[in-house]
A = this chain, B = another copy of it.
Amino acid sequence: MSRALRIGLAGLGTVGSQVAESVLSGVIPGVSLSAVCARDKTRDRGVDLSTVRWVDHPNDLAEAGDVDIIVELIGGTGDPAAALIDAALAAGKSVVTANKALLAARAMHLAVISEASGASLAYEAAVAGGIPVIKTLREALAGNKITRVCGILNGTCNYILSQMESTGLSFDAALRDAQALGFAEAEPELDISGMDAAQKLSLLAGLAFNIQPDTSLISVTGIEAITDQDISYAGEFNSVIRLIGLAAETPEGLVQCVSPMLVRRDHMLAQVKNELNAVMLEAQPVGQLFLQGPGAGGGATASAVLSDIADLAQGFGRPIFGMDALQMEAASVCALPPQAWYLRLALADEPGSMATVTQLLAQNGVSIEEVVQRSRNAGDTHLPVVFITHKVAPANLQAALDSLAQQDRISDQVLALPVFEA
């Protein structure tokens, strides 16, 4: 390389500061930091930025003559992040970003302008933090046909679920713990609703299956309805509950969903604890790969950003989704194939309740593999009952759930969770 690759860095939070420190330390040969931009110039970030030029507005980085590539770590789906990325790509400057929300919302737009200008858009840090899942899907599995991508893509949810499991905490208490420890945001909706995982899944599905990323096509269920009772019931079926993002080819088409699922204790995904992320990839001819690592945090995210920078420094930019964006197909909604479900009901403690429910399930073609019914707690008017079904087609399950919803012997909504298939 005759000249260093000169970086313009927008956003100096935990990740940005770590990236700045690493680049300034010279850990990546042939890379220098020209200019930075952040809202607060005075905050002590633990890194000496005195040799670096500050600009007033992120877009100044896109226009700067001494900046070759942009590292966008501002976040958010709107401006200034969106305007900066657009301006940089239009100017032929490659962009490295960790911004999954923006990518998920604007992936095809960005792919098209990036290919038109020849600039790269690198986003290893946007999915599963320090786990090199983008590199693995796009490069390591280049000669494979990918059939299934699934994993634990949200560290906040995994922290809450595995804490409920190990300590018996309620959902609310586990969430408060996660917030106190910095594993959950003060406003955790994006995480616990499953939407953050869906954004990441949409990018993985785009890469793996050559489809246009579209979160609106993903069936998304969050973890808000999971109780400590559910965790305990799952244990009786030798399983744990994990928020799984899944994109898989099925005879009916490409399924994309995010949902809490029952995962058998001896499965690798059940071993993924606390804030860790993990991805399982199935492809031919390789078979099955499992990758685990830190999904968030300054160090993990910075590592992925630095990896993208190092590739660009060597001139190794890739198409965003590994192929011509205009050739990517639109996906469509596709229900899960017939499979087993966990159903949790609160049943009126009176004669015939169980008979009514099991009859309704049978009438709709839902056949039962296992049942657990516990005795009623003092003061409760309803009994908790849990079923594991045999494999059931989605239409049958929905019909059964609709019938159950009309039954006044059942209080509240029935919780239905897929049983994860290994």
With A285-B298, A289-B293 as contacts: A135 and B140 at CB distance below 8 Å: yes
Checking B142, B266, B302 against A285 with a beta-carbon cut-off of 8 angstroms, the contacting residue is B302
**Mind listing 27 A-B residue pairs with CB under 8 Å?**
A22-B143, A22-B285, A27-B144, A124-B140, A130-B286, A131-B289, A132-B136, A132-B140, A132-B289, A135-B140, A139-B310, A140-B303, A142-B311, A143-B309, A144-B306, A283-B303, A284-B299, A285-B299, A285-B302, A286-B300, A286-B303, A288-B293, A289-B292, A290-B290, A290-B293, A291-B291, A314-B316
Report chain B residues within 8 Å CB of A316. 314, 316
Q: Does A287 contact B (CB under 8 A)?
A: yes
Q: Does A59 contact B (CB under 8 A)?
A: no
Q: Are B293 and A268 in contact (CB under 8 A)?
A: no
Q: Are A141 and B303 in contact (CB under 8 A)?
A: yes
Residues in A16-34 with C-beta less than 8 Å from chain B: 18, 22, 27-28
Report the nearest B residue to A267, measured CB to CB.
B271
Q: Are B303 and A285 in contact (CB under 8 A)?
A: yes
Q: Does A158 contact B (CB under 8 A)?
A: no
Q: Are A290 and B292 in contact (CB under 8 A)?
A: yes
Closest chain-B Cβ to A205's Cβ sits at a distance in Å of: 19
Q: Are A294 and B286 in contact (CB under 8 A)?
A: yes
Q: Does A145 contact B (CB under 8 A)?
A: yes
Q: What is A's interface to B at a CB cutoff of 8 Å? A: 18, 22, 27-28, 124, 130-132, 135-136, 139-145, 266, 268, 271, 283-294, 297-300, 302-307, 309-311, 314, 316, 318
Q: Are B286 and A299 in contact (CB under 8 A)?
A: yes
Checking B124, B139, B290, B297 against A291 with a beta-carbon cut-off of 8 angstroms, the contacting residue is B290
Report chain B residues within 8 Å CB of A300. 285-287
Give the docked Cα–Cα distance between A284 and B130 (Å): 11
Of A135, A139, A271, the most chain B CB neighbours within 10 A belong to: A139
Report chain B residues within 8 Å CB of A289. 130-132, 291-293
Give the docked Cα–Cα distance between A140 and B138 (Å): 13
Give the docked Cα–Cα distance between A300 and B140 (Å): 11
Closest chain-B Cβ to A301's Cβ sits at a distance in Å of: 9
Give the docked Cα–Cα distance between A140 and B132 (Å): 6
Give the docked Cα–Cα distance between A84 and B28 (Å): 34
Q: Are A307 and B28 in contact (CB under 8 A)?
A: no
Q: Are B310 and A292 in contact (CB under 8 A)?
A: no
Q: Are A143 and B290 in contact (CB under 8 A)?
A: no
Closest 5 CB pairs of A and B: A143-B306, A285-B299, A132-B140, A142-B310, A286-B303
Q: Are A28 and B143 in contact (CB under 8 A)?
A: yes
